Amino acid sequence: MVPIPSSPRGWDHSPLSEAYSPLDTPRLFQVEVTRHPAWVGGIYSAVISRLRGLGPVYEDAVNVGIFLKSDRKVASFRPRVRSVELWLFLPEAVNDPRIARAIPTGLDRIVHLIKLTSADQVDDQLGQWLEESYDFNTD
């Protein structure tokens, strides 16, 4: 068991401060999702179920949220106070009103920020973007 180091800024990570095994990702994921309101878990369930339908997904619970990876990062799930920021890594810019921002991160990679407030927003269009991101970031 490896202890999670305490935050130098004094942030309270009491659920995460107990000892954990580096292979205990499901437990860390549960702690990450359950420290937020229930609607955050609903959105996460909708996103991850779509991604798992495409193939294996590695869920990496970190302080800012959960990184969803295949061979490379497919998406970042970042809970905020009133919404969830879903960052999708796509090969081309997408022009859609739901895209709050698109930032080039390399020659062939653009991260798209989508703000979600309910699981109903994880619709077929978002599912297509998730599929494109998964395919693009999987060898």
The CATH number given to 19-136 is 3.30.1460
Please report the DSSP string for the chain in residue order. Answer: -BPPPPPTT----HHHHS-B-TT-HHHHHHHHHHTS-HHHHHHHHHHHHHHHTTS--EEEEETTEEEEESSSEEEEEEE-SS-EEEEEEESS----TTEEEEEEEETTEEEEEEEESSGGGS-HHHHHHHHHHHHHT--
What is the pTM assigned to this prediction? Answer: 0.77
- State residue 63's pLDDT score: 86
Domain residue extents for the chain: 19-136
- State residue 89's pLDDT score: 97
pLDDT along the chain (139 residues), means of 10: 39 40 48 75 94 94 91 95 96 96 93 98 98 96
